[in-house]
Amino acid sequence: MAFRLKIVPENTAIDFQKHNKIAALFSAVLLLGSLGIFLLQGLNLGIDFKGGILLEARTSQAEADIGGLRNDLGALGLGEVSIQGFGAPQDVLIRVQRQEGDETAQIAALTKITQTLGADYDVRRTEFVGPTVGAELKEKGILAVFCALLAIMVYIWFRFEWQFSVAAILALSHDILTTIGLFAVTSFEFNLATVAAILTIAGYSINDTVVVFDRVRENLRRYKSQEQREILNISLNETLSRTVMTSVTTALALLAIILFGGAVLRDFAIALLWGVAIGTYSSIFVAVGFLSRFDLKAAAEEAEEHGLTSKE
């Protein structure tokens, strides 16, 4: 006899709509907190956006002397220098602000750093991003997120109706803003990988939301005598097992990356893990919560009166 793992019991009947007000209050606090911290503290922009020099080095000693490196590199007069542990105890990540002048000045600064590190350190990676490129990358990153949201809104509009599109885009905005708030709170480096994480979160969240919306639309036609509140609850309960199983399996993969993937992938994986959690929450409470504000049954009945069928 085959054993089947069931995280969510069959025939669940949770009254999700009863918790809409609590969920709305929680989301409001989360959004206001995220925006407040972002405006007050800002983001820890990476070299992709700020410009500057980045080095990854490994020492031949048992452990890198980060304190000694700070003193030695700080004495070079290169401006702001950031040094942090990176993966193994022997690895360090060094960030130096962009130097005044052209490429020659940056190369000279890089030479000073490598000479100061000496033979005990093997420089494994160097990067340099100028301010013009950084500003362009920042602009393109914002544009990428905006275009993704716009494309998703248009897709949902054509796939369902405009009420579903509005609810979906509000839920996605909720997920993206709270993810930015996470980076503001934790001071994780915000770089191009983070933009990729945000776009991935948007894709994951809308995939889950589409599954729920599809069941809502189907049940609106199936249970015409039921109240809209009950139809939304039935739809959420019917898709709950799929939602939870997808989130859990994705979270397990991300936890493996966080634990064993090294420092390069850790912040990216943490952002995605947060996105999985907040995306699951928003699909159930935010997207459907906004959807409940519309009279979906009246819209469906009006479409039938005019001889229209739901979009497939």
- d(C-alpha 282, C-alpha 194), whole Å: 20
312: in domain: no
273: in domain: yes
> Domain tally for the chain?
2
My answer on whether 96 and 240 are in the same domain is no
161-216, pLDDT tens digit by residue? 788 888 888 888 899 899 999 988 888 878 778 888 888 888 888 888 888 888 88
Residue 99 DSSP class: P
257: in domain: yes
Contacts for 112 with CB less than 8 Å, ≥ 6 apart: 76, 78
10: in domain: no
234: in domain: yes
My answer on whether 40 and 89 are in the same domain is no
My answer on whether 23 and 77 are in the same domain is no
Contacts for 267 with CB less than 8 Å, ≥ 6 apart: 188, 189, 193, 194
My answer on whether 188 and 138 are in the same domain is yes
* Pair 77, 44: CB distance under 8 Å: no
Residue 28 has what pLDDT?
93
State the Cα angle at 66 between 61 and 71, rounded to 5°: 120
Where is the domain boundary, 99, 129, 159? 129
Residue 134 has what pLDDT?
62
My answer on whether 235 and 270 are in the same domain is yes
Type of residue at 152 = I
My answer on whether 109 and 256 are in the same domain is no
My answer on whether 189 and 237 are in the same domain is yes
My answer on whether 85 and 41 are in the same domain is no
What is the domain extent for residue 224?
Answer: 16-45+134-305
231: in domain: yes
Residue 301 has what pLDDT?
59
Residue 33 has what pLDDT?
92
93: in domain: yes
* Pair 282, 175: CB distance under 8 Å: yes
Q: Which of 169, 161, 157, 156 is nearest to 310 (CA)?
A: 161
Residue 26 has what pLDDT?
93
Type of residue at 274 = W
- d(C-alpha 101, C-alpha 31), whole Å: 41
- The model carries a pTM of 0.74
My answer on whether 153 and 276 are in the same domain is yes
84: in domain: yes
My answer on whether 118 and 29 are in the same domain is no
Q: Extract the residue ranges of the chain whose pLDDT is less than 50.
A: 1-2, 308-312
CATH of the domain at 117: 3.30.70.3400
My answer on whether 161 and 187 are in the same domain is yes
273-304, pLDDT tens digit by residue? 998 999 889 888 888 888 888 777 665 555 55
My answer on whether 125 and 231 are in the same domain is no
Contacts for 296 with CB less than 8 Å, ≥ 6 apart: 163, 216, 220, 228, 231
Residue 25 has what pLDDT?
93
Where is the domain boundary, 77, 104, 129? 129
CATH of the domain at 216: 1.20.1640.10
Where is the domain boundary, 65, 100, 129? 129
Residue 311 has what pLDDT?
46
